Structure 1
Amino acid sequence: MRIFDYSKIKDRQWDKEIINYIGLIHECKGRQQLYLAQKPDELYRLVEIAKRQSTEASNEIEGIRTTQARLKQLISDKTTPKNRDEKEILGYRNVLNIIHENYEYIPIRSNYILQLHKELYSFMDVSYGGKFKNTPNEIDATLEDGSRVCIFKPLEPFETPDAIRDICDEYDKAISNYDIDPLIVIPIFIHDFLCIHPFNDGNGRMSRLLTTLLLYRSGYVVGKYISLEKKIQITKNEYYNALSSSSKNWMEETNDETPFIKYLLGTILAAYRDFEERVNLVSKKLTSKEMVVNAINTKFGKFTKSDILELCPEIGRATVENVLKELVEDGVIDRVGSGRSTAYLRKN
């Protein structure tokens, strides 16, 4: 069985790209604290949007989906789930809410991870919620054509409980005693969790929930306002490639987690940059049209109505539609496509 020893992380030399990521994220974290203190009212809508996007995107990665109308109703407790997918979506939303509201009181321990997994399946008529796997499994990737390929064979079921206990213990020691930056330890923990693949189902979603939990506990709360899961969904192929590269020779303890660390740090940094962009848009006293124009000016190439709604959370859908129509008529932007494929382009 693989031995986990995070004390070795302290002696590793990281390349310039990782060091730069860490420095930039630290700077963003400091600026975010100022935003949180100075502009709390403007951030409320960002929280609600991020919750919806996180729930949708993390489940979408696993092929679990529903309509936008049903998703909004489920997130806001205005309906009950109708099918298996909606039950899984509602379970994810509940776990995300638990983490948002209680992260300070959720230690990184096996029993707490099991409790979160049980909540993930609280609406499902399955027996494996809150239990470690009892059959061998594998890490699969879903390609763009919908096919699935095996990229890694994890630990056996009998090895799993001890492995999860060990990485939790090592994580706590690394954070408390080894003087290692959490931005290094968190990706390594998440990567080990995925390689162990401790559950019969829900491993990917649990890894993303645990990423949010670990970041929150270390003071990196950007995921509360910008969906990290959405960014992972958009870059799903890069995510699988980084995971696959970092998992080579994992069983032999000679793997290199660098690709996965870089991927996750890049995702976190992109979320922080989006946060600053969005909070600046919602905090200025502008008309609806001015806010939409400012949002458009941050976009390169094609953008959609949904892109603008994300950047302008204080404006309703109908208002955005009207402003976009007006800007097309004024010759400020061009409309391309129609129906669900409708997009827009800025004119020079």
Structure 2
Amino acid sequence: MYIYKQKKWPKFFWDADVISAILGEVRHKQGRIIGQMQALGFRVQEETMLKALTMDVIKSSEIEGELLNPEQVRSSIARRLGIEIAGAVAAERDVEGIVEMMLDATQQYKAPLTAERLFDWHAALFPTGRSGMYKIKTAAWRDDLMQVTSGPMGKETVHFEAPSAEKIPGEMKFFLNWMEQEQELDPVLKAGVAHLWFVTIHPFEDGNGRITRAITDMQLARADKSPQRFYSMSTQIQEERNKYYDILESTQRGSLDITSWFKWFLDCLMRSMEQTDEIINKTLARAAFWETQRATEFNARQQKILQLLLDDFFGNLNVSRYAKINKTSTDTALRDLQDLIKKDVLEQQGNGRSTSYRLR
């Protein structure tokens, strides 16, 4: 029996003794992060938030098998938040849509969550009214059966079957009323309940996972009482994707006791906040680099590459890769790289075809 078929649905309960200890650690970590960021100054806060939001958007889509261009995501977020960055690029419609949704969820966290707001998010996710090759119903509740399956066509394994379409309006009205009610429930726990509850209803034809994580981010912003996001839960969920789906499936097939779900959710949240230390260290390293090089002149192509090298550049940088990233000729790329070596910023590794470059 699925969880929503329980007689007392959705009256969730849990073992408070088990959960309170984990919740206390999470709350302590949240306070520590906010205090640490306030001590580091505005520019570092800005850079750390940009990084966390960029990863949140990228990883939330990656969980669904959609790979977004990181530069487009970063540029779109920076432009909307008024943050100046080197090497900004134009973003495609699908990128702009999910960025718009995520920023509305976090920057406007105090605004009520309504059906119209969710429809706006859904329309932003699917600006063409299509999911891949298929036309879908957008900005409206689904009107058909919804199953989560895996496996080859004709031999699918059904992991979950959501409530029937005719129940969606009533289910969502109850959920949205609960979201805006004052309760004697810690806001972080409310984020965990909201995540499980919404993804179980699965009210849209597509995009339910991304909207679930946007709702979670919004509620976590309410818990922090701040639009500034310095950690990304979607990034951690992507890293634990198999465990995430396993705990969802077992919880949705279980009773209304969601102690196990809460344990996973809070532990995942804690691990996502532990990544903030790494983000801060990278941000400080970037700030130190640009401060050291403040008198050095770089062209736009060089600035773009240096920003990538200081952030999350995977693999080796060579002439052809430099040219491809900057959409320029290999001759121009080689001149730029040699200039960076002269400026004592890069150093060459290897020779011939194996030649690559790295920060000195």
Fold agreement, TM-score > 0.5:
yes
- RMSD value over aligned CA atoms? 4.1
Match of 2:27 in 1: 26
Give 1:101's match in structure 2, choosing from 102, 107, 119.
107
The whole-number CA distance in structure 1 between the counterparts of 2:271 and 2:227 is 10
Q: How far 1:123 sits from its partner (Å)?
A: 4.7
Write the deviation string for residues 151-178 of structure 1: whole angstroms up to 9, x where unpaired.
11010110011101112223444xx23x
CA contact (8 A) 1:182 1:218 kept: yes
Aligned length: 294
Q: Please say if residues 286 and 310 of structure 2, whose CA atoms lie closer than 8 Å, have aligned partners that are also in contact.
A: no
Other structure's SS at 1:218 match? helix
Q: Return the offset for 1:288.
A: 4.5
CA distances 1:293-334 after superposition (whole Å, capped 9, x unpaired): xxxxxxxxxxxx9897259xxxxx999xx98979x99xxxxx
Of 23-32 and 201-210, deviating more is: 23-32
In structure 1, the gaps of 5 or more residues are 82-86, 290-304, 312-316, 330-337, 340-348
Match of 2:54 in 1: 52
CA distance in 2, matches of 1:191, 1:201: 17
Letter of the aligned partner of 1:231 in structure 2? Q
Contact kept, 8 Å, 2:49 with 2:230, in 1: the verdict is: yes
User: Which residue is equivalent to 2:95?
Assistant: 89
> 2:38 & 2:71 partners in 1: Cα distance?
34
Equivalent-residue separation in structure 1 for 2:100 and 2:21 (angstroms):
35
Change beyond 3 A, Cα 1:4–1:279: farther
CA distance in 2, matches of 1:160, 1:234: 31
Instruction: Give 1:211 shift.
Output: 0.6
Judged with a 3 Å threshold, the aligned counterparts in structure 2 of structure 1 residues 222 and 69 are, in CA distance, closer, same or farther, namely closer
Q: State the alpha-carbon separation in 2 of the partners of residues 55 and 111 from structure 1.
A: 22
Render the CA deviation track for 1:35-74: whole Å, top value 9, x for unaligned: 3433222121122222222222111111212455555566
| Structure 2 CA distance for aligned equivalents of residues 258 and 50 of structure 1 | 28
1:135 to 135, 139, 144: 144
Q: Following the alignment from structure 1 to structure 2, what is the Cα–Cα distance between the partners of residues 283 and 153?
A: 47
Amino acid at match of 1:48: L
1:294 aligned residue: none
Distance 1:241 1:229, change over 3 A: same
Counterpart pick for 1:79 among 90, 99, 112: 90
After TM superposition, list the pairs within 5 Å mapping 1:143-158 onto structure 2: 149-158=157-166
Q: 1:246 maps to what in 2?
A: 251
Does 2:159 correspond to 1:159?
Answer: no
Task: Give, in whole Å, the separation in 1 of the partners of 2:127 and 2:56.
Answer: 19
Instruction: Give the CA deviation at 1:202.
Output: 0.4
Displacement of 1:204 in angstroms is 0.6
Distance (Å, rounded) in 2 between the aligned partners of 1:242 and 1:267: 12
Flag the 1:159–1:325 CA change in 2: closer, same or farther, 3 A.
Answer: farther
Partner of 2:38: 37
Tell me the SS of whatever aligns to 1:245.
Answer: helix
CA shift digits 1:173-210 (9 cap, x unpaired): 4xx23x12222222122111111110001001111111
Give the deviation of 1:92 after TM superposition: 0.8
**Structure 2 match to 1:335:** none
* Structure 2 stretches lacking a partner, 5+ long: 80-88, 291-306, 314-324, 326-336, 356-360
The percentage of counterpart residues that share the same residue type is: 18
Query: In the aligned structure 1, how far is the partner of 2:136 from the partner of 2:189?
Result: 35
State how far apart, in whole Å, the 2-side matches of 1:55 and 1:235 are.
16
Q: Distance in 2 between matches of 1:149 and 1:207?
A: 23
TM-score (norm 1): 0.69
Cα–Cα, structure 1 residues 256 and 37, in superposed 2: closer, same or farther, change >3 Å?
same
Larger-gyration structure (1/2): 2
- The DSSP-based 3-state class of the residue aligned with 2:146 is coil
Partners in 1 of 2:249 and 2:309 — Cα distance? 31
Three-state SS of the structure 2 residue aligned to 1:224 is coil
